[in-house]
Amino acid sequence: MSIDGQSVPGPGAAAQGTTVPATRRAVIVGGNRIPFARAGGAYAKSSNQDMLTAALDGLIARFGLQDERIGQVAAGAVLKHSRDFNLTREAVLGSALSAETPVYDLQQACATGLETVVGLANKIKLGQIDSAISGGVDSASDAPVVVSEGLREIILDLNRAKTLPQRLQILSRLRPKDLAPLAPGTSEPRTGLSMGEHQALTTAQWKITREAQDELALNSHRNLGAAFDSGFFDDLMTPYRGLTRDANLRADTSMEKLASLKPVFGRNLGADATMTAGNSTPLTDGASTVLLASEEWADARDLPKLAAVVDAEAAAVDFVHGKDGLLMAPVFAVPRLLARHNLTLADIDYFEIHEAFAATVLSTLAAWEDDEFGRTRLGLDGAFGSIDRSRLNVNGSSLAAGHPFAATGGRIVATLAKMLHAKGNSNGRPARGLVSVCAAGGQGVVAILESL
């Protein structure tokens, strides 16, 4: 029977235990993103809604989702215009998906993209929905510019005024300086320090060298370049505005070129400044999406099942007075998550540690390798452990690809799911991947994926 509405399963469907099992697998079917552009580049005039819709339409085309009513779509942006309060819903309405697809927006700074994956996967596991699309988008080019606090108050007071004399009196408060617009700041509100300055403190604390940072950046570019060359991203990306590769990628960079760059963060600290534009992520524009589903939903449509979302953990650190570094929350989240599954770092086949800065990844690894930190801060018998570097960000990460804040989680999850599926079972167990994303406000979200 076909109705022009939203059909409800008949009574008894739940009673038969077929649609609401206790928990079930949430699988990653695939992903799609647009190439990431440097701020002010190819997407300078594209809005968040434009880019998210473009990424969504590519996903819809790849998996034949035209007119499909998806269980729920969740996405978000970090730098968001107030008119974009329903950003994701507007993108869905402008896409080929059924207009009856429900949606929510989410904001968790740079962890936005990963958190949408986690939240939607949980809904699938609980049987609340059968399919979902997670996503994220950010534009550093088309960023909101706000009026000054003085002008804003005058406009709001004018709105509340009832008489002409009141309005004139309010207008007389206007001063020339009130007319200067404010660009969005990247400083932490409670400290006034930029993210780079915060990381510079952590970098100095863990004594991360310039060479180690440049080497990590070089590997990121080389790995991402090799992945493009081998066609790895062919089914993870749709071209947009003339871009077919991430515009920030410098596959031919070298240690010499990276070493020639001047430090930009931490120049006022006692230690040598080591963080440059080469080993820090640039401001970037871009969008990403991931298709999630129950196994039944994917099977019924003959869609691939790349990996399962096993579990996730969030953490936060008290960075305000320097107890921990701003971007160090994953250092605490990962040990908790692995302990819950009786796993160690040695049980992980691929690590995807978001490269906010090369030094962020290296400080994270240094904390895990530190005996005293393991004992006093993680409550372990000693160091948490070290990782096999050949398993780290093997197809490149944010230093090469760029980092459109909310879009990074989706980029990583789709990339990792494809790698895990390709590796498949070995040693009698599925391939395992760990995702780690740090975020502003001293937060972090980490997740385990497993091959199918």
Partner 1 sequence: MTLPQTVILPEMPSLSKLYVNAAAQAARRRLLGAHDTATLPAEGHEVRGVKVDVENLTAYQHLIGETASDVLPAGFIHALAFPLAMSVLNRDDFPLPLLGMIHVRNSIEQRSPLVFTDLLDATARVENLRGHRAGTQVDVVVEVGPAGTGRVHWRGVSTYLAKGVFLPGIDKASAAEPKADFSAPDPTALWHLGVDTGRAYAAVSGDFNPIHLSVLSAKALGMRRSIAHGMYLASRALADVGPARGDSFAWDVDFEAPVFLPCRVALEISTEQGGAGAWKRSTFVAWNPRSGRRHFRGTVEALHEAHGLPVT
User: Catalytic site residues?
Assistant: 110, 403, 438
Task: Assess 269 for contact with partner 1 (CB under 8 A).
Answer: yes
Task: Assess 192 for contact with partner 1 (CB under 8 A).
Answer: yes
Supply the minimum distance, in Å, between the C-beta of residue 192 and partner 1. Answer: 4
Please give the residues from 273 up to 332 whose contact with partner 1 meets the rule CB under 8 A.
320-323
Residue type at position 273: A
Cα→Cα distances 42→26, 184, 296, 400, Å: 35, 21, 40, 17
Q: Which position among 201, 258, 338, 400 is part of the footprint of partner 1 (CB under 8 A)?
A: 201
Q: Which position among 5, 270, 379, 428 is part of the footprint of partner 1 (CB under 8 A)?
A: 270
Task: Assess 197 for contact with partner 1 (CB under 8 A).
Answer: yes
Task: Assess 160 for contact with partner 1 (CB under 8 A).
Answer: no
- The secondary structure of 295-348 as a DSSP string is HHHHHHTT----EEEEEEEEEE--TTTTSS-TT-HHHHHHHHHHHHTT--GGG-
Q: Which helix (H) or strand (E) holds 366?
A: helix 358-369
Q: Which is nearer to partner 1, 193 or 261 (CB)?
A: 193
Supply the minimum distance, in Å, between the C-beta of residue 195 and partner 1. Answer: 13
Q: Are 54 and 286 in contact (CB under 8 A)?
A: no
Please give the residues from 340 up to 359 whose contact with partner 1 meets the rule CB under 8 A.
none
Q: Which position among 172, 268, 342, 390 is part of the footprint of partner 1 (CB under 8 A)?
A: 268
Q: Which is nearer to partner 1, 7 or 268 (CB)?
A: 268
Pick the stretch among 71-79, 190-198, 362-370, 423-431 that binds partner 1 (CB under 8 A): 190-198
Q: Which is nearer to partner 1, 86 or 205 (CB)?
A: 205
CA distance from start to end of the chain? 35
Residues in binding contact with partner 1, number by CB under 8 A: 17
Supply the minimum distance, in Å, between the C-beta of residue 184 and partner 1. Answer: 15
Q: Which position among 177, 262, 390, 427 is part of the footprint of partner 1 (CB under 8 A)?
A: 177
Q: Which is nearer to partner 1, 42 or 367 (CB)?
A: 367
Cα→Cα distances 16→21, 295, 298, Å: 10, 18, 21
Report the C-alpha gap between 287 and 88 in whole angstroms: 12
Supply the minimum distance, in Å, between the C-beta of residue 443 and partner 1. Answer: 17
Task: Assess 204 for contact with partner 1 (CB under 8 A).
Answer: yes
Pick the stretch among 31-39, 54-62, 189-197, 213-221 that binds partner 1 (CB under 8 A): 189-197
Q: Which is nearer to partner 1, 148 or 238 (CB)?
A: 148
132 DSSP β-pair partners: 72, 292
Report the C-alpha gap between 71 and 350 in whole angstroms: 30
Q: Are 308 and 25 in contact (CB under 8 A)?
A: yes
Supply the minimum distance, in Å, between the C-beta of residue 182 and partner 1. Answer: 12
Report the C-alpha gap between 326 and 188 in whole angstroms: 9
Q: Which is nearer to partner 1, 107 or 205 (CB)?
A: 205
Supply the minimum distance, in Å, between the C-beta of residue 271 and partner 1. Answer: 9
Report the C-alpha gap between 409 and 416 in whole angstroms: 11
Q: How many CB atoms lie within 10 A of CB 45?
A: 10
Q: How many CB atoms lie within 10 A of CB 96?
A: 15
Please give the residues from 205 up to 224 whose contact with partner 1 meets the rule CB under 8 A.
205
Q: Which is nearer to partner 1, 190 or 341 (CB)?
A: 190
Supply the minimum distance, in Å, between the C-beta of residue 321 and partner 1. Answer: 5
Q: How many CB atoms lie within 10 A of CB 233?
A: 22
Q: Which helix (H) or strand (E) holds 375?
A: helix 371-376
| Total length of the chain | 452
Report the C-alpha gap between 438 and 409 in whole angstroms: 10
Q: Which position among 86, 98, 122, 191 is part of the footprint of partner 1 (CB under 8 A)?
A: 191
Q: Which is nearer to partner 1, 122 or 205 (CB)?
A: 205
Task: Assess 427 for contact with partner 1 (CB under 8 A).
Answer: no
Pick the stretch among 161-169, 234-242, 251-259, 262-270 that binds partner 1 (CB under 8 A): 262-270
Task: Assess 182 for contact with partner 1 (CB under 8 A).
Answer: no
Residue type at position 213: Q
Strands 307-316 and 27-33 turn out to be: antiparallel
- Print burial letters for 327-338: b (CB count within 10 Å at least 16), e (below 16): bbbbbbbbbebb
Q: Are 337 and 446 in contact (CB under 8 A)?
A: yes
Which residues of this protein are in contact with partner 1, per CB under 8 A?
A: 177, 187, 190-193, 197, 201, 204-205, 268-270, 320-323
